[in-house]
């Protein structure tokens, strides 16, 4: 369904992106932000899903500045490699790339952003800092607690797993206390990465409920 395109950030740097178009006129735009595994098979599938829901969907390759065209699976060595690349990425530069994706998705109408893991953190950051968004959804963003003093400019929905070993419930409680205007949900028995059906942590019940809430959230705000 999708195609590879090139985005140009405000600093002139060009990055890749995966673009999926809806069958008819878009009812809005969705920016999909990757995990530490790049714009891989799963993220492309998520992007295709939002296109099938009627949105112009764009997944920017926010690792391109440090490792162009990076894609991986979910083995432990790949987790370590993805985390190492994350350490080389600059948040401000990633925000420039995300802004370029928001601008592209805006060709479809009002824009929402959804991100997973690293992308969940960056979706929250975009809700606070980016221009042109109307809604934001973050799945298990591990660094959101460190930026909970920042207030999103747009309606924001956050999903967390109850048994996520990388995001303690104390962090979730901190976020809820600091940002009561955000809708925050914790999914019983769900761990980190519960949305991804290609990972061992996949939790179908949590995935389905979070997705239902996300669809309703975007339908309301886009």
User: Which residues of the chain register pLDDT less than 70?
Assistant: none
**Choice among 97, 192, 196, 221 that is catalytic:** 192
Is residue 38 within 8 A of residue 72, CB to CB? The reply is: yes
List, for residues 189-209, the tens digit of each pLDDT value.
Answer: 999 999 999 999 999 999 999
Q: What does the CA dihedral 174, 179, 182, 186 come to, rounded to 10 degrees?
A: 10
Is residue 117 annotated as a catalytic residue, yes or no?
A: yes
Cα separation, 110 vs 221, in Å, equals: 8
Q: What is the pLDDT of residue 19?
A: 98
- Sheet containing 111-116: order of strands: 2-8, 14-20, 56-60, 29-33, 111-116, 133-139, 156-161, 183-187
Q: Please tell me which residue in 42, 103, 117, 171 is annotated as part of the active site.
A: 117
Burial class for 216, CB neighbours closer than 10 Å (0-12, 13-18, 19+): exposed
- What are the pLDDT digits (tens) for 86-102? 999 999 999 999 999 99
CA distance 45 to 14: 23
pLDDT at 154: 98
Separation of alpha carbons 214 and 113, rounded Å: 11
Q: Which pLDDT belongs to residue 177? A: 98
Distance CA 67, CA 85 (A): 8
Q: What pLDDT is stored for residue 136 in this prediction? A: 98
Residue 97: per-residue pLDDT? 98
Q: Which residue ranges make up each domain of the chain?
A: 2-221
C-alpha–C-alpha distance, residues 106 and 112, integer Å = 9
CA distance 27 to 161: 30
CATH code for the structural domain at 2-221: 3.40.50.1820
Contacts by 8-13 with C-beta closer than 8 Å and gap 24+? 8/100, 9/93, 9/96, 9/97, 9/99, 9/100, 10/96, 10/99, 10/100, 11/93, 11/96, 13/65, 13/93, 13/96, 13/97
Find, among 141, 139, 131, 138, the residue nearest to 110 by Cα.
131
- Residue 200's pLDDT is 92
Catalytic: which of 64, 103, 164, 171?
Answer: 164
């Amino acid at each position: 369904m999708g195609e590879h395109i090139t985005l140009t950030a405000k600093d002139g740097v060009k990055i890749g992106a995966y673009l999926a178009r809806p069958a008819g006129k878009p009812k809005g735009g969705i920016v999909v932000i990757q995990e530490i595994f790049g714009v891989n098979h799963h993220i492309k599938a998520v992007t295709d899903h939002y296109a099938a829901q009627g949105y112009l969907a764009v997944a920017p390759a926010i690792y391109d500045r440090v490792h162009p065209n990076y894609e991986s699976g979910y083995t432990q060595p790949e987790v370590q490699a993805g985390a190492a690349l994350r350490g080389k990425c600059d948040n401000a530069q990633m925000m420039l790339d995300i802004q370029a994706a928001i601008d592209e998705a805006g060709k479809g109408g009002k824009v929402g952003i959804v991100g997973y893991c690293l992308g969940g953190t960056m979706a929250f950051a975009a809700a606070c800092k980016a221009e042109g968004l109307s809604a934001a959804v973050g799945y298990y963003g591990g660094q959101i607690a460190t930026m909970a003093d920042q207030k999103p400019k747009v309606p924001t929905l956050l999903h967390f797993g109850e048994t996520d070993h990388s995001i303690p419930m104390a962090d979730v409680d901190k976020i809820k206390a600091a940002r009561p205007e955000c809708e925050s949900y914790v999914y019983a028995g769900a761990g980190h990465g519960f949305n991804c059906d290609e990972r061992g942590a996949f939790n179908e019940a949590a995935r389905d409920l979070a997705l239902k809430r996300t669809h309703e959230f975007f339908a309301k705000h886009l």
